[in-house]
Amino acid sequence: MAHAGGDGTGLPPGAAEDLRRLKAEYDNYRRRVRRDRLAVREIAVANVLARMLPVLDALDRARAAGEVVDGFGAVAELLEGELAALGLESVGAVGDAFDPVLHLAIGYTRSAAVDAPVCVEIVRTGYRVGDQLIRPAEVVVAEPP
Domains, the chain, in order of start with CATH, read: 15-143 (2.30.22.10)
Q: What is the pLDDT of residue 1?
A: 47
Neighbours of 5 (CB within 10 A): 15
The gap from C-alpha 120 to its chain's centroid, in whole angstroms, comes to 24
DSSP annotation of 115 reads S
Q: Strand, helix or coil at 20?
A: helix
Residue-wise pLDDT tens digits, 118-128 = 999 999 999 99
C-alpha–C-alpha distance, residues 23 and 130, integer Å = 33
Q: What is the pLDDT of residue 129?
A: 93
Alpha helices, H only, the chain:
15-64, 70-85
Residues of the chain with pLDDT under 50: 1-2
Residue 9 in contact with residue 16, Cβ under 8 Å? Answer: yes
DSSP annotation of 9 reads S
Q: What is the pLDDT of residue 29?
A: 92
Q: What is the pLDDT of residue 9?
A: 66
Q: What is the pLDDT of residue 8?
A: 64
